[in-house]
Amino acid sequence: MAFLDGTVVGVALPVMQLELHATVDAAQWVVEAYALFLAALVLVGGALGDRLGRRRVFSWGVALFSVASAGCGLSPGVASLISAAYPEAERGRAIGTWSSASAITAAVGPVAAGWVVMHGSWRWLFLLNLPLAAVVVGLASWRVAESRDEGATGRLDLGGAALATVGLFLVVYALIDSGRTGGMGSGRAVLLLGLGGLTLAAFVLVEARRAAPMVPLSLFRSRTFSGTNLLTLLLYAALGGGLFFLPFNLIQVQHYSPAEAGAALLPFIALISVLSPWAGGLAARWGARPLLVAGPSLAAAGYGLLALPTLGERYWTTYFPGLVVLGLGMGLTVAPLTTAVMGSVDARHAGVASGINNAVARAASLLAVAALGALLSARFNGALDGRLSRLSLPGDLARAVDSERAKLGGADFSSLEATVRDGLRQAFDLAYVAGFRTLMVACALLAAGGALAGLLLVEPAAGTASGPGPSAAARGRPGAARPG
């Protein structure tokens, strides 16, 4: 359900923007409102699962997810389970298989979403979660053993969750709002960013003082745990921001149909599906570090290739190579990253560690959609100003065109005379391409930063060429077995 929704909403969102006559910042909030609470409350979910039972909390979450999804469809305008079920020696392959299964469902999503949007309504994409939820809860009751942390005591850290939510909201609001209020240098943006930063700092201070914190800061004493979370932050920022804006480019600017845009993502998803079980097994035998350097490096190269296309070029010589290389990179990274996170903490903290890493990934995507959206908008507006100056538009028309800026590639000029409409359409499309190329370069730099974090901070496995001695996971857990 989660991976399906993550892909189908991305493909449907450009059509939702046009149908609802929304600006790009409003379309961003469709995703950001979901991502904000997911990033903040997945931490509570990890701790709640440790206390009340992971299967129980998972099933409650699925039920709530489906009800909320139905609300979206009608609106007008799980790594810790794997960690508990499999011993450490088998966990890498199990996580790889989980990643592969998730990728298979995600592969169906874009194409199915495109077909549904073209022949029905985007609302059905949300309503589909109702029958899926019934199946998922039934499978969890039938096949998933209950597990919990018997040592987990104390009250849930709801105050920490509130501070994290408010702090992230203020930062994201500042980034998205800056596009229409004078940029990041405006007094409003600086004030909101400052308040968000202070709130997040207060969150860290509160967590350091609590007896039973939502985020045990002691876990970050593990160099590998800190390194993998930094890698997650950088790599998933690139992934979340890049894949959010790619369908807008394909549908609104390159004029793909929704089904074609969904199919365009298949190489990326298929490679994650094929490579994840293999990469999970390699991580269990050789350690995660080599894969956590090679994978993000390939992802950076993929984003670099996606920065090259302009307008009207063939898919097979433009977006296809970039998505293939990006898929190779993520396929080598996803399962080893999860394995490294789980292996760097005591097994009884698996729920909390999973929650922290998931929260980092969600927060990375949350912040990236806002920050990279501001970057794209700034580059778009600069490029558009240059092109509009050459069109010499009369005052009334210039003001009407300016009112469409906030829609970026979704600007609507259907009411204008054909010659003027075509010239404006080309100006907006070329400006969007300029912004998208800048965004892809930023994603490449983020992914390269992730590769550097893997190289410098993730400890090599025991017995590898990097040096003898116990692994970071073994050093962090007394009596822990070394990776095979």
Question: pLDDT band at residue 479, thresholds of 50, 70 and 90?
Answer: very low
Q: What is the mean pLDDT of residues 281-290?
A: 84
Q: Is the residue at 416 inside a domain?
A: no
Rounded distance between C-alpha atoms, residue 42 and residue 440, angstroms: 28
Q: Are residues 252 and 357 in the same domain?
A: yes
Q: Is the residue at 484 inside a domain?
A: no
Structure confidence at residue 169 (pLDDT): 85
pLDDT digits (tens, 9 = 90+) for 52-95: 888 888 888 888 888 888 877 776 663 465 555 566 666 666 76
**Owner of token pair 């997040």:** 200
Range of the structural domain that residue 191 is part of: 158-209
Q: What is the mean pLDDT of residues 467-471?
A: 37
As for how many domains the chain has, the answer is 2
Q: Is the residue at 29 inside a domain?
A: yes
Q: Is the residue at 218 inside a domain?
A: no
Q: Are residues 88 and 203 in the same domain?
A: no
How many CA atoms does the CB half-sphere of 99 hold within 13 Å?
29
Q: Is the residue at 402 inside a domain?
A: no
Q: What is the mean pLDDT of residues 106-113?
A: 64
pLDDT at 351 over 70: no
Question: pLDDT band at residue 477, thresholds of 50, 70 and 90?
Answer: very low
Is there a contact between 340 and 458 (Cβ–Cβ < 8 Å)?
yes
Alpha helices by DSSP H, 287-349: 289-306, 319-343
Rounded to an integer, what is the distance from CA 51 to the centroid of its chain? 27
Q: Are residues 264 and 318 in the same domain?
A: yes
Residue 136: which CATH number?
1.20.1250.20
Q: What is the mean pLDDT of residues 152-180?
A: 79
Q: How many helices (H) and strands (E) does the chain have?
A: 18, 0
Alpha helices by DSSP H, 53-157: 54-74, 79-85, 88-119, 123-127, 129-143
Structure confidence at residue 462 (pLDDT): 57
Helix, coil or strand: residue 112: helix
Percent of the chain with pLDDT over 70: 81
Structure confidence at residue 466 (pLDDT): 41
Domain boundary among 169, 185, 209: 209
**Owner of token pair 């979901």:** 34
H or E stretch covering 226: helix 223-248
Q: What is the mean pLDDT of residues 103-107?
A: 60
Rounded distance between C-alpha atoms, residue 88 and residue 344, angstroms: 11
Q: Are residues 201 and 228 in the same domain?
A: no
Tokens standing for residue 392: 């010499």
Tokens standing for residue 290: 């080599």
Q: Are residues 95 and 42 in the same domain?
A: yes
Q: Is the residue at 24 inside a domain?
A: yes
CB atoms within 10 A of CB 26: 16
Q: Are residues 6 and 95 in the same domain?
A: yes
Q: What is the mean pLDDT of residues 158-183?
A: 80
Structure confidence at residue 338 (pLDDT): 82
Least confident of 93-102, 154-163, 438-447: 93-102
Q: Is the residue at 409 inside a domain?
A: no
Q: Which pTM was predicted?
A: 0.77
Q: Are residues 163 and 148 in the same domain?
A: no
Q: Are residues 143 and 162 in the same domain?
A: no
pLDDT digits (tens, 9 = 90+) for 17-32: 777 777 777 777 777 7
Rounded distance between C-alpha atoms, residue 124 and residue 89, angstroms: 42
Rounded distance between C-alpha atoms, residue 91 and residue 372, angstroms: 35
CB neighbours of 431 closer than 8 A, spacing ≥ 6? 380, 381, 383, 384, 387
CB atoms within 10 A of CB 12: 28
Question: What letters, b where the CB count within 10 A reaches 16 and e where it falls short, cover 86-107?
Answer: bebeebbbbbbbbbbebbbbbb
Q: Are residues 385 and 259 in the same domain?
A: yes
**Owner of token pair 């997911």:** 38
Q: Are residues 169 and 306 in the same domain?
A: no
Structure confidence at residue 159 (pLDDT): 83
Look over the chain and give the mean of its residue pLDDT values, rounded to a whole number. Answer: 80
Structure confidence at residue 76 (pLDDT): 66
Structure confidence at residue 350 (pLDDT): 65
Q: Are residues 286 and 187 in the same domain?
A: no
Q: Are residues 251 and 382 in the same domain?
A: yes
Q: Is the residue at 216 inside a domain?
A: no
